[in-house]
Amino acid sequence: MKTLFHLTLVISLSAAAALAAGASIASPGVYNSASYILSTFPNGGIAQGSIFVIFGSGLGPSTIAYNSNLPYQISLSGTSINVNVNLTSVPCLMFYTSAGQVAAILPSTTPLGTGTITVTYNGSTSAPAPIKVVKNALGLFTRNQQGSGPAVVQDSNSNYNSYLNAFQPGETVTFWGTGLGPISGSDATTPPPGNLPGTTVTANIGGQNAVVQYAGRSGYAAEDQINVTIPSGVSGCFVPVYFTVNGVTSNFVTIAVSGSGAICSDPNLFTSADLQNITNYQALRSGNIVLEQYSLAISGTPIPIAPEENENGTASFGSFTAATLLNSIGGLNPEVAISQGCMVYQYGTGESYVDPVLPKGLDAGPAINVTGPNGSKQIARTSTGTYATQFVAPTLGGAVPTDFLVPGAYTLDNGAGGADVGPFKVSISIPPIVTWSNRSSISTVPRNQPLTITWTGGPANGDVYIGGISPLTANAATNSFSGAGTFICMAPSSAGTFTVPAAVLSALPPSATLSGPGYSIGSGIIVVNSEAGSSQTTVSGLDVFGAGASSGDGKIGISFQ
């Protein structure tokens, strides 16, 4: 079955810009058209026989042009793309072209290795940009057109999965992507049917292995489909999914799964009752507050410092339309948008992943007041609907600051409220710190091997989250990093142990190095923390409101290798 869902959406990402004085490829500017993973990540190469996109200026005409007839050609409306690897020049098959964005098929016969790519438009050729050609790098299409969050996945009746149309365990469903690998025939026309020869494809849904029924071309050039059966015991609005192809991990996406009813339910974020407004195309107004504190030990004896405390307060208030909610990663708190198993986020800049699909911010007042055992502080407003304060930050060698957040009872309020959200007052408790039992033995983490984490403590009937960050770049002087691979896994607190799969770790980049006087350590971080939430509270101006707190045990200086 054919789906052009991704084409319609991905083109909307760049408006047709005015034609620049010559073709120019942005940096970075070459991506798998489904995953959008940077080439700096282990799974960020461009696979033979896959669709890729290039961003830049002056790449094509001001009005987008499609190559809609078979066979695909190597030139379209004056635009052509050429790849050079190992002294072999390969023209690509044009998919569409516009001034700011072009797409093409990388021929299956392109040599493997690192090379360069150029775009020529009306005789103007861009400067060469780097490209990494690999055999397999599957990208899965997603609703947000950025390779994260809810997947473009259909059931046997061609219905799309969403929070409002959850699939059931035991169903065989179809994921769409590109990058499974090369074919033996021509990429310019209808590819041969059947499972792709020479590929071993595995699937993981909600932390469980899933049976792959088919993995090959969809019947259309360079577009892949993977048919997989949802395993039993899986449920939630944010069930992680990933595939491996010959050992290379795809981007991580989510699907909604429910054992009963079309609307999913996930008590950590949204219940089925919360989502009823969206079924009638009404707005869903949501708010949440999170307090987070964890001990942060430092790996490496040259640093004479006791474990630090890292303490943060964040709050978000937003109004979702049906489209923004269905395409978002997980509402107002994407970093915990996980129902079970493990999730990975990959981003090239900043210190956290930002959901590409954001709600309209709601004004809840100038600040959120936090009162607890050690007095009162505020979570400051940073923009309409967004509040964030770092109460205590690790300093890598500085004086150990006084704790503000400690286990115990807290009151959160917004005073007189704001223009959109009325006044509220809610009580919450920071849970006792979960102790990471084998923390001292983990300093170097091979990314091609599973990692077992053990702990004691945590809520008796709750969950423990294991999170890790492997930065692309890091700066010890400013105690900051930019760009990273981040994983988060969820396990019952009572289990006391969890093994992070090698496929999850393999999606992380090698950790940058933190260097300073007398030390040189990895910049990676692992945190093991428990979660606690408040009961639902009715707040004027909101349909859904909740507050949560976490308390954990972490370590910086880890080297993901």
Q: Residue 54 belongs to a domain with what CATH number?
A: 2.60.40.10
Q: Which amino acid is it at 93?
A: L
CB atoms within 10 A of CB 182: 22
452 burial type by CB count under 10 A (0-12 exposed, 13-18 middle, 19+ buried): exposed
What's the helix, strand, coil split of the chain in %, to 5?
5, 45, 45
Q: Are residues 392 and 529 in the same domain?
A: yes
Domain membership flag for residue 275: no
Q: Are residues 519 and 484 in the same domain?
A: yes
Closest C-alpha among 115, 134, 127 to residue 41: 134
> In the chain, how many domains are there?
3
Domain membership flag for residue 269: no
Q: Are residues 102 and 163 in the same domain?
A: no
Q: Are residues 114 and 146 in the same domain?
A: no
Q: What's the CA gap between 479 and 198, in Å, rounded?
A: 45
Closest C-alpha among 403, 453, 443, 433 to residue 525: 443
- What pLDDT is recorded for position 406? 87
- What pLDDT is recorded for position 12? 38
Structure token digits, residue 12? 């909307």
Structure token digits, residue 122? 């009306």
Q: What is the DSSP letter of 276?
A: H
The tally of CA atoms less than 13 A away on the side-chain side of residue 25 is: 23
| Ramachandran class of 502: left when φ > 0, alpha when ψ lies in -120 to 50, beta otherwise | alpha
pTM for the whole structure: 0.92
- Is 143 within 8 Å of 356 (Cβ atoms)? no
- Domain end, chosen from 134, 163, 196, is at 134
List of E strands, 476-543: 480-492, 497-500, 513-516, 519-522, 524-533
- What pLDDT is recorded for position 278? 77
Q: Are residues 244 and 386 in the same domain?
A: no
- Is 10 within 8 Å of 3 (Cβ atoms)? no
pLDDT per residue, tens digit, the chain (561 aa), is: 333 333 333 443 333 333 446 899 999 889 999 999 999 999 999 999 999 999 999 999 999 999 988 999 999 999 999 999 999 999 999 999 999 999 999 999 999 999 999 999 999 999 999 999 999 999 999 999 999 999 999 999 999 999 999 999 999 999 999 999 999 999 999 999 999 999 999 999 999 999 999 999 999 999 999 999 999 999 999 999 999 999 999 999 999 999 887 898 887 677 787 787 777 778 889 999 999 988 877 765 455 444 566 899 999 999 999 888 888 887 666 566 788 899 999 999 998 888 888 899 999 999 999 999 999 999 999 999 999 999 987 655 556 667 899 888 999 999 999 999 999 999 998 888 889 999 999 999 999 999 999 999 887 778 899 999 999 999 877 778 899 999 999 999 999 999 999 999 999 999 999 887 777 888 999 999 988 776 667 899 999 898 989 888 999 889 999
- What pLDDT is recorded for position 10? 40
Handedness of CA 317, 321, 324, 329 (dihedral sign): positive
Closest C-alpha among 266, 340, 271, 333 to residue 492: 340
pLDDT tens sequence across 152-178: 999 999 999 999 999 999 999 999 999
Structural domain boundaries enclosing 61:
5-134
Find tokens 């084998």 and name the residue.
438
Q: Residue 171 belongs to a domain with what CATH number?
A: 2.60.40
Q: Are residues 155 and 73 in the same domain?
A: no
* 11 phi and psi angles, rounded to 5 deg: -70, -30
List of E strands, 373-443: 375-383, 386-392, 408-413, 425-430, 435-436
CA distances from 392 to 21, 83, 96, 162, 404 (A): 50, 49, 50, 39, 7
Q: Are residues 376 and 459 in the same domain?
A: yes
- What pLDDT is recorded for position 355? 87
